[in-house]
């Protein structure tokens, strides 16, 4: 992809119904602070429910943090087409249903369709799979996607940085996603050697 100096980096963020909506919110909040990034967000029906169950945020507040917001049933959205240039997609958290549908090419909603487009255009696709324990089907689906170039970044905390709060753990996860997207972050939780 040719990068034009004044073009913003376009990142698609799909939020599915797995637990861990806080990871998506933190990513969206931090991307909003990056001046050369444009965010395109989609929440599945169950992601909206988890937003209510797990946080104090309203969907309207999240929509206001995004540059563009799409309904998950809108298969005519710009991000459903490969001709709409994006610089990557993050599915955070990624439910095992979503992982499975993408692994077998079922693009029946906008999140799975946008992921399918990301794959066919050979763009960066990152998944934050959120399930434990993992069964063989989960592992096989993630392995299949990994072989296609999908980067799996499960929310597994690091403790070398001595986290004190849940936010410290979330910050570290967002740092990993920023790194995978090639976006500079001001994280202080990096390993500095011994």
Q: Is 23 annotated as a binding residue?
A: no
Q: Measuring CA to CA, which residue among 21, 61, 68 is closest to residue 42?
A: 68
Q: Is 44 annotated as a binding residue?
A: yes
Residue 70 three-state SS? strand
Q: Is 146 annotated as a binding residue?
A: no
How far are the Cα atoms of 29, 39, 88 from residue 61, in angstroms, in the given order? 11, 14, 23
Q: Is 160 annotated as a binding residue?
A: yes
Q: What is the C-alpha to C-alpha distance for residues 31 and 65, in angstroms, rounded to an integer? A: 9
Q: Is 63 annotated as a binding residue?
A: no
Q: Is 98 annotated as a binding residue?
A: yes
Q: Is 89 annotated as a binding residue?
A: no
171's CB contacts (< 8 A; 6+ apart) are 26, 187, 189
Q: What is the C-alpha to C-alpha distance for residues 17 and 190, in angstroms, rounded to an integer? A: 30
Q: Measuring CA to CA, which residue among 107, 98, 95, 99 is closest to residue 50?
A: 95
Q: Is 8 annotated as a binding residue?
A: no
Q: Is 182 annotated as a binding residue?
A: no
Q: Is 147 annotated as a binding residue?
A: no
Q: Is 96 annotated as a binding residue?
A: yes
Residues that constitute the known binding site for dimethylallyl phosphate: 160, 176
Which residues define the annotated binding site? 17-19, 44, 95-98, 130, 160, 176
Q: Which residues are annotated as a binding site for FMN?
A: 17-19, 44, 95-98, 130
């Amino acid at each position: 992809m040719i990068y034009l100096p004044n073009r913003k980096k376009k990142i698609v963020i799909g939020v599915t119904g797995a637990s861990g909506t806080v990871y998506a919110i933190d990513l969206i909040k931090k991307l909003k602070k990056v001046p050369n990034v444009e965010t395109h967000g989609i929440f599945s029906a169950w992601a909206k429910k988890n937003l209510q169950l797990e946080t104090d945020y309203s969907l309207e507040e999240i929509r206001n943090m995004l540059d563009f917001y799409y309904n998950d049933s809108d298969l005519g959205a710009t991000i459903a087409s490969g001709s709409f240039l994006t610089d990557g997609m993050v599915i955070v958290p990624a439910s095992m249903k979503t992982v499975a549908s993408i692994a077998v090419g079922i693009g029946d909603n906008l999140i799975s369709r946008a992921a399918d487009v990301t794959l066919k255009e050979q763009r960066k696709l990152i998944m934050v799979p959120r399930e434990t324990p993992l069964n063989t089907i989960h592992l096989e689906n993630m392995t299949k996607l990994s072989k296609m170039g999908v980067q799996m970044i499960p929310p597994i905390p690091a403790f070398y940085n001595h986290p004190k709060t849940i936010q410290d753990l979330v910050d570290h996860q967002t740092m990993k996603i920023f790194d995978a997207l090639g976006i500079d972050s001001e994280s202080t939780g990096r390993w500095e050697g011994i």
